Structure 1
Amino acid sequence: MQDNLLWQYSLAVYRRPDVAPLLIALQDHDNADVNILLSCGWLGTQGQCLSLEHLQQLITITTPWQEQCVQPLRAIRRFLTDSDDDAFREQVKRLEIDAELRQQNLIYQQLQSLTLCTADPAKAMIDNLDLYGSQLAATDREKLLTDLTRLAALIK
């Protein structure tokens, strides 16, 4: 899906300073789905707001793919971090990135069918990220909100 604007946005913001480590920390510590976080941010930049119903639809559509494909590939890649076989680890990494793209294609296709409310982009981004944050079972809610606010500043 060459015209997936969400994927193009994700690739661009992921390369920005401090974004990748923060996304990975949210993933590892708060069980956040990086693709959902990036979707919330991308929609925010477009001035589009997710409702709880729409967010839950995205989560429902993508959770099986995330759990059955993306997470196992990530676990294998991380397991291979100390391996001497860098070529094999890179192959797994490419598969993981391709699985992430496929998940984002699912999200992007679903978003095309939704009617979203509009707001000021800065407000929409924070609202989208906070809404997703409210769905996470974070152990430190205050840190989560701080991290989401920081993420919004980095990916706007």
Structure 2
Amino acid sequence: MAAGLGVNMCADLWSFALSTYARSGCEAACLRLQAQGANVCLLLCGAWLEQRGVTPTPERMQALQDIARPWQKEVVEPLRQVRVQWRAMAQQDEPLAALRERVKALEQEAERQLLTRLETLTQAWPIGESEDQQGWLEGLATEAANLDHDALQSLRAMATGT
């Protein structure tokens, strides 16, 4: 672990994402960002990279987006659409509710696989390059129209534990 990095810093992106998402208010902030077109897995990766002191560059951001965009579009979003589409019907239909839970588990596994792919890409990037690397979230969220900057700052605060 690089000098200066907090002892509570999660070594892997999946653990970081789980611990950050579990914090009070994080789910709501992430859902607001997701509703505006942001890729939450990409934002969690950005928050993780900020915490690790990895310098944000346009090339690195593009490389992350090149991995995340097709996986999100072709794998995660179709699963999410099915899960959301079944929400109302599943409230009155036990077998459908059970299937919906299985789709939700697949969606979560697809997100975990995306986070693993993103982490693999970043493994060669030096950590601890700087104490203040607050460009990742804004840079990775640029595709989301009318982005909720309050939600973005909330995510950053929850990721750093402040």
TM-score (norm 1): 0.85
One of 138, 147, 156 as aligned partner of 2:145: 138
Please say if 1:39 is aligned against 2:11. no
Q: 1:15 and 2:22 equivalent?
A: yes
| SS of aligned partner of 2:135 | helix
Distance in structure 2 (CA, Å) of the matches to 1:13 and 1:117: 20
Is residue 113 of structure 2 the alignment partner of residue 129 of structure 1? no
Match of 2:115 in 1: 104
For 1:149 and 1:112, the matched residues in 2 are separated by 26
- From 93, 97, 109, the counterpart of 1:86: 97
Counterpart CA distance in 1 for 2:144 and 2:41 is 17
Cα distance in 2 between the residues matched to 1:127 and 1:89? 37
1:25 aligns with 2:32: yes
Gaps of 5+ in 1: none
More helix by share: 1
- CA distance, structure 2, for counterparts of residue 72 and residue 128 of structure 1: 27
Paired-residue identity, %: 30
Q: Quick one: structure 1 residues 149 and 66, their matched pair in 2 at CA, closer, same or farther if it must change by over 3 Å?
A: same
1:117–1:52 CA distance, 2 compared to 1 (3 A): farther
* Higher mean C-alpha deviation, range 95-104 or range 105-114: 105-114
User: What code does the residue aligned with 1:132 have?
Assistant: L
Q: Which has the larger radius of gyration?
A: 2
Q: Which runs of 4+ in 1 moved over 6 A?
A: none
Ranges in structure 2 where 5+ consecutive residues have no aligned partner: 1-10
In the comparison of the two structures, how many residue pairs are matched?
A: 146
Note the C-alpha offset of 1:113. Answer: 3.1
Cα distance in 2, alignment partners of residues 62 and 19 from structure 1: 21
